[in-house]
Structure 1
Amino acid sequence: MLLYHGSRHGIDGPIAPLSRDRCDFGRGFYLGTEPLQPLTLICDFPDARFYTVELDLDGLDVRELSADATWALVVAYHRGKMEQARGTTLYAETAAALEGADVAIGPIANDRMFVVLDRFFNGDITDVALIKSLSALQLGNQVVALTQAACDAVRIVDERSLSEDERTELIATSEANRAEGVALAERICREHRREGHFFDEILEAGVPLG
């Protein structure tokens, strides 16, 4: 499986699942199916390195998430947005969605989706509006090596730095994509503002454990 990774300062030492905790699928080594995604994340950093890698999924526990409400809740859980639902079946099921997995695969929540996700978490839009926005933006998937076993299955194929001109162009592309994505999502959210459920409604509907 050919994938892409961006690093602000380059990979130093063995690949390991050492991202920050509050990432979409938890701590891991994050990869993308589309090269532009990691490139736009690192283009502000002069020492950034861009990697093309291969991931061998053979023998690994792989969990795939679709662009649906389950994906949104898994992201919410790992970003610490579900604490008010702790003790419910919904919370337990969401927490267990990636439990024991070596690799998680699911839609990317990049800078074009951050605004929409925050609006969902803040109760401004429904789950239907969120998912339709995600589907319309077609951002590709992120593939996350969650365990050391998965990280050991990653092989670096190519590594390169970014020129100043390339970084400047990528910054402009990122800003343009963000504006375009937010505008598209805003239109979709207006069209579907009366459909689906708000985040607090979903959490309140969780069935208490026990």
Structure 2
Amino acid sequence: MILYHGSNVSIDKIDLAKCRPYKDFGKGFYLTDIRNQAERMAARTAKMFRGEPILTSFEFDLDSALRHGLKIKIFDSPNEEWARFVMVNRDINTKQPGHDYDIVIGPVADDTIARLLRMFTEHFISERQLVEELTFSEVTSQYFFHTKAAIKMLKKI
């Protein structure tokens, strides 16, 4: 499959040390299999940090990563488990990331979802309400690569 990274710079070598912490799945390198989503991210990043939007493409084989013994977590949809996972990784009091997976695949917690997570953590909505609201959110996709072994599974196109 082809994965995309949207930024204001071309990615020739992935440096995990340059990745920001406290994102949905923790500190690591993020991609998506949705080209349009990556293009929007590139435009947003270029606007925030100046420069031109740049899309970098990578080839990734999930079956190969599994055969190599990488620890992989897949969230098929935004659900209760996914919401708790995202909350832990976004918590500035949690060692980053809040898990030991090499690769995590799942939906993006966009601004709407982030608002729902805040409402849940501040006890304005119940867990059941959170899950119901997440069901109606536009689902996006992200692939998180956290370790050098995981990064080796990516081949720049």
Whether TM exceeds 0.5 here: the answer is yes
**1:82 to 1:15, Cα distance in 2 relative to 1, 3 A:** closer
Deviations 1:72-102 (A, max 9, x none): 111111111777xxxxxxxxxxx4xx31x21
Deviation at 1:104, TM superposition (A): 0.6
Kindly indicate whether the alpha-carbon contact (under 8 Å) linking 2:75 and 2:82 is maintained by their aligned counterparts in 1.
yes
- Compare CA radii of gyration and give the structure with the larger one: 1
Q: Which has the higher helix share?
A: 1
Q: What is the RMSD computed on CA atoms of the aligned residues? A: 2.3
State the partner residue of 1:140.
Answer: 140
CA distance in 1, matches of 2:29, 2:117: 22
State the partner residue of 1:39.
Answer: 39
CA distance in 1, matches of 2:93, 2:126: 16
Structure 1 portions without partners, runs of 5+ = 84-94, 158-210
Question: What's the TM-score, normalizing by structure 1?
Answer: 0.60
Please state whether the residue corresponding to 1:73 is helix, strand or coil.
Answer: helix
Kindly indicate whether the alpha-carbon contact (under 8 Å) linking 1:4 and 1:35 is maintained by their aligned counterparts in 2.
yes
Please state whether the residue corresponding to 1:54 is helix, strand or coil.
Answer: strand
CA distance in 2, matches of 1:69, 1:47: 37
Number of residue-to-residue matches in the alignment? 143
State the partner residue of 2:53.
Answer: 48
Please state whether the residue corresponding to 2:136 is helix, strand or coil.
Answer: helix
State the partner residue of 1:171.
Answer: none
Kindly indicate whether the alpha-carbon contact (under 8 Å) linking 1:33 and 1:142 is maintained by their aligned counterparts in 2.
yes
Runs of 4+ in 1 over 4 A off after TM superposition: none
**1:135 to 1:8, Cα distance in 2 relative to 1, 3 A:** farther
> In the alignment, residue 71 of structure 2 is paired with which amino acid?
D
**1:10 to 1:137, Cα distance in 2 relative to 1, 3 A:** same
Kindly indicate whether the alpha-carbon contact (under 8 Å) linking 1:16 and 1:148 is maintained by their aligned counterparts in 2.
no
Please state whether the residue corresponding to 1:133 is helix, strand or coil.
Answer: helix
Structure 2 portions without partners, runs of 5+ = none
Deviation at 1:65, TM superposition (A): 2.5
Kindly indicate whether the alpha-carbon contact (under 8 Å) linking 2:102 and 2:147 is maintained by their aligned counterparts in 1.
yes
Question: What's the TM-score, normalizing by structure 2?
Answer: 0.77
Deviates more, 1:44-53 or 1:70-79: 44-53
CA distance in 1, matches of 2:8, 2:129: 33
